[in-house]
Amino acid sequence: MHFTAPSATPPAAAGGEPAGGRRPAPGGPATPTHCPYCALQCGMGLAPAEGEPGGLAVVERPEFPVNRGALCGKGRTAPALLARGVRLTGPLVRSPVSGELEPADWRTALDRVARGLTGVGESYGADACAVFGGGGLTNEKAYALGKFARVVLGTSQIDYNGRFCMSSAAAAHQKAFGLDRGLPFPLEDVSRTGCVILVGSNLAETMPPALRHLTELREAGGTLIVVDPRRTRTAEAADLHLAPRPGTDLALALGLLHLVVAQGLTDDEFVAERTVGWPAARAAAMAHWPELVERITGVPVPQLREAVRLFTAPRDAMVLTARGPEQQSKGTDTVGAWINLCLATGRAGRPLSGYGCLTGQGNGQGGREHGQKADQLPGYRRLTDPAAREHVARVWGVPPQSLPGPGRSAYELLDALGGELRALLLMGSNPVVSAPRAAHVEERLRSLDFLAVADVVLSETARLADVVLPVTQWAEESGTTTSLEGRVLLRRQAVEPPDGVRSDLYVLHELAARLGVEKGFPTDPEEVFEELRRASAGGPADYSGITYRRLAEEQGVFWPCPDVGADGDAGADGSGRPEQSERPEQGEPAVGAAHTRHPGTPRLFLDRFAHPDGRARFAAVSHRPAAEETDAEYPVVLTTGRVVAQYQSGAQTRRVAELNAAAPGPFVELHPRLAERIGAVEGEPLVVVSRRGRAVAPARITGAVRPDTVFMPFHWPGGGRANSLTNPALDPTSRMPEFKTCAVRVERAAQADAGPGPVS
């Protein structure tokens, strides 16, 4: 372990460093940066160290307020992926002779990708070329990828894995508040409120350093309620654990609101002054009386009452959701119902109260703001908004009418591969493991005329490609990410990449040139960011007041942060003034002696919500069943999620020895009663069968899961792949697949082998 003591900590944030990155000599000071993995974006330092994996040692950065030096095992071991032998170090091109991926030089590989894309475009039209991005890509990459799709390929067919992540919360945020930022307040506020309801988040495993804020909340006398069908490590830390049947959170939230109304606990003044739509939402909640909700969710009425008591006793309270309630075919309505609870009780729109979504990927927030989502343009602008098209087209130097309209959502895009979509450029995702109904998606990927994958490792999806482009990793390049708090952060280069590796920005630059666009795709991340500032200016997610220099000096900057003439430069659009928008401005521009600088906006909605009338919208929603309910043939509910030592599709973390030792493979978590019924034995293989497919993994018997539910983590490919089973039923608004509930049957492997053949 190369995790060193705080004494090795670099000077605070190293203000005044060259912004774009530097290459320290061994023994030199650490480069302050952020973790390559999840949305917490923990601050860390990277110190040059001979003999360490990747030539770097991770050191603490206690001054960064979100994690205060603490890191989980993934962050601590991240440099292991920089080592040769683990990652890709040269392009691969599929040989027409052997049919295998073989080493090639960059020119050959890029020529091949350009030919693949133009060939399909010429034969089938621009929309036959698709692009798939990732929420792990920096803002600069996400921005450049969206621009590449729309300007160079001229295709409407671009979406990204964030659709599988927080799209339901994003849609609910937009509806309720008129603006979507995961947390409308800094994470630190969580420790100072009175009560937190954490819905379907296993923070103790998915963002371990954040657990500290919940511990502090309880130490200060606040209470924590966790809603999860499993008694997770996070639930263990709660005052109250509600364990609903997966897919029933909507009924649960409505039931709590029913009790709030029945007990006269609504904040009528807040509702009258700051919201719209209460009568319809109230009526919907009144139809969900406690006994009915107990029947749907399995949560006893006394626990519902206790939850309402804890939530309404203190003046301040928060609801935070994560993937549990969101990854459902009714995720948007479900999140809307939880927001209703905040609005009706006046626990929103003021300090230390409100609703937030715990976004997942390293740049899950920024990745959804700058144009890789099917319906969005940079600055969180809508692709269908004529003014937005006009503004972005001007920055891009193209006519607004040349910008394609919205395309397919992630699963719909993957499902259309090999049909209307003939070529795919994929950057920053591994859908063979992570997409719902993965065997079908894998088959669709195989049926493409042309597949190019840019990745740092040879992922399961990269293995299917015609061309694999090896790209640089976080420590080898600079770029910005936007954390779950909406805090824009600078990751700085700490080492040189190996010879055979290029950046994603280089890939897009070279491909654009080959496809006839010589300008507009710089390879320097800071140059891309400068353009992103202009493109985002005046939009909901306004970054125009943020510069690399500022990010190097401050502990990140919360958007919106319009350019108010900071540092003496001209306004972002060159006019000296950012465009006006209907966005609320909570931040007070700091008045300095020499210049003004917008301080960014740590807290949103304090005075008004972002709808034109300043009011929040209640959601008039009612419970509905999951897309697939259990029946005699498939009597058990499957839910899926994560373990602490593996990240996502595992493409990266399965290559890190220490993490693999901690979490070596898939498993099926089941209750002793279910185990007894099917004769399951701890550690022995179980077959889980759904209408989409089957998976085999050892039994893990625990009283921590509901007896009617089994849980599988989704980090592994092959026979234990959870996504062989999952249901691609989509939420009608967000197009989020229902990862969190489907119907399965579970059998002992020996027994299943004797039974009916596999389903497809």
Ligand X SMILES: Nc1nc2c(c(=O)[nH]1)N[C@H]1C(S)=C(S)[C@@H](COP(=O)(O)OP(=O)(O)OC[C@H]3O[C@@H](n4cnc5c(=O)[nH]c(N)nc54)[C@H](O)[C@@H]3O)O[C@H]1N2
Tell whether residue 207 is a contact of ligand SF4 (CB under 6 A): yes
In this chain, which of 37, 64, 548, 618 binds ligand SF4, going by CB under 6 A?
37
Question: Which of these ranges, 60-68, 205-213, 521-529, 598-606, lies near ligand X under the rule CB under 6 A?
Answer: 205-213
Tell whether residue 209 is a contact of ligand SF4 (CB under 6 A): yes
Q: Of 506, 488, 473, whose CA–CA distance to 551 is shortest?
A: 488
Tell whether residue 74 is a contact of ligand SF4 (CB under 6 A): yes
Tell whether residue 325 is a contact of ligand X (CB under 6 A): yes
**Closer CB to ligand SF4, 275 or 481, in the complex:** 481
227, β-bridge pairs: 199, 242
Altogether, the residues listed in the chain come to a count of 760
Residue 400: what are its φ and ψ, rounded to 5°? -55, -35
Q: Of 134, 606, 132, whose CA–CA distance to 416 is shortest?
A: 132
From the list ligand SF4, ligand X, Mo ion, none, which binds 454 (C-beta under 5 to 8 Å, kind-based)?
A: ligand X
Minimal distance in Å, beta carbon 40 to ligand SF4?
4
In this chain, which of 41, 139, 155, 359 binds ligand SF4, going by CB under 6 A?
41
Tell whether residue 456 is a contact of ligand X (CB under 6 A): yes
Q: Are 618 and 277 in contact (CB under 8 A)?
A: yes
Q: What is the contact mask toward ligand X in residues 658 to 697, using x (rule: CB under 6 A)? A: ----------------------------------------
Q: Are 424 and 743 in contact (CB under 8 A)?
A: no
Tell whether residue 335 is a contact of ligand SF4 (CB under 6 A): no
Q: The tokens 């009915």 sit on which residue? A: 292
| Count of residues of this chain found to bind Mo ion when the rule CB under 5 A is applied | 2
Cβ atoms < 10 Å from Cβ of 423? 27
Residue 414 region by backbone torsions, left for phi larger than 0, else alpha for psi between -120 and 50, else beta? alpha
Residue closest to Mo ion, measured at CB = 360
In this chain, which of 361, 478, 581, 727 binds ligand X, going by CB under 6 A?
361
Tell whether residue 80 is a contact of ligand SF4 (CB under 6 A): no
Minimal distance in Å, beta carbon 457 to ligand X?
5
Positive or negative torsion for Cα 734, 735, 739, 745: positive
In this chain, which of 459, 536, 630, 690 binds ligand X, going by CB under 6 A?
459
From the list ligand SF4, Mo ion, ligand X, none, which binds 42 (C-beta under 5 to 8 Å, kind-based)?
A: ligand SF4
Q: How many CA atoms lie within 13 A of 209 on its CB side?
A: 26
Q: The tokens 């139809």 sit on which residue? A: 287
Q: Are 113 and 425 in contact (CB under 8 A)?
A: yes
Locate 570 and state its tokens.
């001209």
From the list ligand X, Mo ion, ligand SF4, none, which binds 455 (C-beta under 5 to 8 Å, kind-based)?
A: ligand X
Minimal distance in Å, beta carbon 277 to ligand SF4?
36
In this chain, which of 333, 415, 504, 563 binds ligand X, going by CB under 6 A?
504
Q: The tokens 């978590």 sit on which residue? A: 669
In this chain, which of 165, 383, 535, 572 binds Mo ion, going by CB under 5 A?
165
Tell whether residue 82 is a contact of ligand SF4 (CB under 6 A): no
Question: Which of these ranges, 90-98, 260-268, 614-622, 737-745, lies near ligand X under the rule CB under 6 A?
Answer: 737-745
In this chain, which of 30, 35, 426, 736 binds ligand SF4, going by CB under 6 A?
35
Q: Are strands 376-377 and 354-357 parallel, antiparallel or unpaired?
A: unpaired
Minimal distance in Å, beta carbon 718 to ligand X?
15
Cα-Cα-Cα-Cα dihedral of 403, 407, 413, 416, to 10°? -90
For 268, residues 6+ apart whose C-beta sits below 8 A from its C-beta are: none
Minimal distance in Å, beta carbon 253 to ligand X?
10
Tell whether residue 360 is a contact of Mo ion (CB under 5 A): yes
Q: Are strands 43-48 and 56-59 parallel, antiparallel or unpaired?
A: antiparallel
Distance of alpha carbon 363 from alpha carbon 525, whole angstroms? 15
For 450, residues 6+ apart whose C-beta sits below 8 A from its C-beta are: 116, 117, 119, 120, 422, 423, 424, 466
Q: Are 87 and 455 in contact (CB under 8 A)?
A: no
Tell whether residue 266 is a contact of ligand X (CB under 6 A): no
**Closer CB to ligand SF4, 201 or 345, in the complex:** 201
Question: Which of these ranges, 150-158, 346-354, 355-363, 581-589, lies near Mo ion under the rule CB under 5 A?
Answer: 355-363
Q: Of 128, 121, 118, 89, whose CA–CA distance to 105 is shortest?
A: 89
Locate 487 and state its tokens.
């805090």
Q: Of 722, 720, 667, whose CA–CA distance to 698 is shortest?
A: 667
Angstrom distances, CA of residue 528 to CA of 395, 505, 732: 12, 9, 34
From the list ligand X, Mo ion, ligand SF4, none, which binds 429 (C-beta under 5 to 8 Å, kind-based)?
A: ligand X
Residues of this chain that interact with ligand SF4 (CB under 6 A) are 35, 37-38, 40-42, 67, 71-72, 74-75, 207-209
Residues of this chain that interact with ligand X (CB under 6 A) are 38, 134-137, 161, 164-165, 199-203, 205-207, 227-230, 232, 246-247, 249, 322-325, 327, 360-361, 427-431, 433-434, 454-457, 459, 471, 504, 639-642, 644, 646-649, 651-652, 711, 714, 722-723, 726, 739-741
